[in-house]
Amino acid sequence: MKITVMTTDEQFITLDVDRDESVENVKALLEVETSVSLHQQQLNFNGKEMKNSDQLSSLGIGDGDMVMMVPLSSGTPSSDLRFNVDGSAVKPEAFQQHIRGNSQMVTQLLQNDPPLAQAILGNDLDKLQNLLRERHQQKLQLQRKQEEELALMYADPFDVESQKKIEAAIRQKGIDENWEAALEYNPEGFARVVMLYVDMEVNGVPLKAFVDSGAQSTIISKSCAERCGLLRLLDQRYKGIAVGVGQSEILGRIHVAQIKIGHLFYHCSFTVLDAPNMEFLFGLDMLRKHQYPTGAMQCIIDLKENVLRVGGGEVSVPFLQEKDIPSHIRDGERLPQQASSRQGSAPETSGARDKTSSIPALAHSSGIPQNPRAQGEDFEVKISKLVELGFEREAAIQALRLFNGNEEQAAGYLFGA
């Protein structure tokens, strides 16, 4: 097996020794490597001094473990470099000064273990102690894992419980290998994704708009609509329930209002939701909108340049960095995600599936006015006539409901759409 010895001269020395090797023989090997006499060496493991007559196996030293060598002739007393049972230094200040006094050791630590090097070079001894305890716990966990693997190797092959443990160990090994490969080849996958927000104005009021191509409709919260002076235009006939990732009440619809993106102005319609965790969501209906009286919108989400292009590229609005997104919006995104993970619920595939906040997908239970008069016996006949004109059945139904069953108005609406 291999052990690593931390010294004051050669920094870190790797020795290939037998598991039952005596401490005295290890010191003899170190004498060759460091030119420090065997009798001037003191070896410590887990804060305890290793006696010459002890064997490595009896001290619990395994493959990959680290031992500290303290020359007794050095200026630092050996007792100052001992470790407590939990892995922390008995005298952290002396331990810190001892490492700082060796420039080569510091350089090697900066290369191999930057967190520990920063803790030693810093002034926070509590941080250093906590890091030493953390490394000690990691080491103990590794030892327990190795012991469990060793026990499984000698387990009864006909024992059902042993076979289950072996199967679980093999599965976990695959997961660990997959995780390690991701850290090496896809480290950005562990970073938090910043959602797409841009600066907009709604009815002259500036706000941060969340751009969501997975949301069916553009959404504005009741409080935001009130702040923008639009709540007086709320059409409550369009009440309903929006479902998707979570569920929220649809309070109604604002049919048209002015928005400003860059220096361009457009007309926009909003679905008003009772959603305290969301202010304004710029949905797919507006991203795909075209043939406006003021010109085509033609939005393009350009992730390469990190901008939202509007008007066929005439205006490019940069997506906000995380520091520019208000904290109450970021917090509002995290809370529903945590609640969802605690409940074990999986997001649906429609609507705002990629958003962390619980903004629904707007699969309306009653997204347009429902009028019993529009559900008469001739309702199906009117649908058939509109379908014969070349319109889709669903579009015909929605148009008839929108105009309370008036076939002519519905046809005119469909022809003009």
CATH of the domain at 127: 3.10.20.90
pTM: 0.46
Exposed / middle / buried, residue 110 (Cβ in 10 Å: 0-12, 13-18, 19+): middle
Please list the pLDDT of the chain residue by residue as tens digits (417 residues): 888 888 765 567 888 888 888 888 888 888 777 777 777 788 888 878 888 888 888 888 888 888 888 776 545 555 566 788 888 888 888 888 888 877 777 787 788 778 888 888 888 888 888 888 888 888 888 888 878 777 777 777 788 888 888 888 888 888 988 988 888 888 777 777 788 999 999 999 999 999 988 888 899 999 999 999 999 999 988 888 776 656 778 899 999 999 998 888 888 889 998 877 778 999 888 887 754 444 556 788 888 889 998 876 778 889 988 888 877 776 555 544 444 444 443 333 333 333 333 444 443 444 444 443 435 557 888 888 888 777 888 888 877 877 777 887 777 777 665
Structure tokens at 195: 């959602």
What are the respective helix, strand and coil percentages of the chain, to the nearest 5? 45, 20, 35
Is residue 165 in a domain? yes
Give CA–CA dist 260/310, Å, rounded.
11
**Residues with catalytic roles:** 212
Alpha carbon distances (Å) from 87 to 42, 50, 106, 138, 139 = 18, 16, 20, 10, 10
Assess whether 123 and 205 both reside in one domain: no
The number of angstroms, rounded, from the C-alpha of 265 to the middle of its chain's C-alpha atoms is: 36
Contact 362, 215 (CB under 8 A): yes
CATH number at residue 385: 1.10.8
Per DSSP, what are the bridge partners of residue 205?
202
Cα dihedral 87, 88, 92, 98, rounded to 10, equals 10
Q: From the CB of residue 45, how many other CB atoms can be counted at a distance below 10 Å? A: 19
Specify the amino acid at residue 44.
N
Q: Which of 342, 360, 392 is the last residue of a domain?
A: 342
Assess whether 111 and 186 both reside in one domain: no
SS3 assignment for 1-55: CEEEEECCCCCEEEEECCCCCEHHHHHHHHHHHHCCCHHHEEEEECCEECCCCCE
Is residue 362 in a domain? no
Q: Which candidate, 270, 273, 243, places its Cα nearest to that of 361?
A: 243
Give CA–CA dist 105/117, Å, rounded.
9
Assess whether 96 and 223 both reside in one domain: no
Assess whether 20 and 91 both reside in one domain: yes
Is residue 131 in a domain? yes
Assess whether 326 and 390 both reside in one domain: no
Is residue 148 in a domain? no
Assess whether 67 and 168 both reside in one domain: no
Exposed / middle / buried, residue 2 (Cβ in 10 Å: 0-12, 13-18, 19+): exposed
Per DSSP, what are the bridge partners of residue 295?
none
Q: Which of 342, 364, 392 is the last residue of a domain?
A: 342
CATH number at residue 241: 2.40.70.10
- Give the number of C-alpha atoms closer than 13 A to the C-alpha of residue 118, restricted to the C-beta side: 5
For residue 23, give its domain range: 2-139
Give CA–CA dist 82/100, Å, rounded.
17
Q: Looking at the 3D structure of the chain, how many domains does it have?
A: 4
Assess whether 231 and 337 both reside in one domain: yes
Assess whether 257 and 307 both reside in one domain: yes
Assess whether 245 and 282 both reside in one domain: yes
Give CA–CA dist 136/142, Å, rounded.
10
Is residue 261 in a domain? yes
Is residue 234 in a domain? yes
Alpha carbon distances (Å) from 64 to 11, 90, 101, 380 = 16, 23, 26, 78
Q: What is the per-residue pLDDT for 78?
A: 56
Q: What is the per-residue pLDDT for 267?
A: 87
Give CA–CA dist 149/179, Å, rounded.
20
Assess whether 207 and 276 both reside in one domain: yes
Assess whether 117 and 30 both reside in one domain: yes
Assess whether 322 and 394 both reside in one domain: no
Alpha carbon distances (Å) from 31 to 27, 44, 103, 112 = 6, 16, 22, 25
Q: Which candidate, 111, 133, 167, places its Cα nearest to that of 46?
A: 133
Give CA–CA dist 283/253, Å, rounded.
14
Specify the amino acid at residue 403.
F
Is residue 314 in a domain? yes
Is residue 84 in a domain? yes
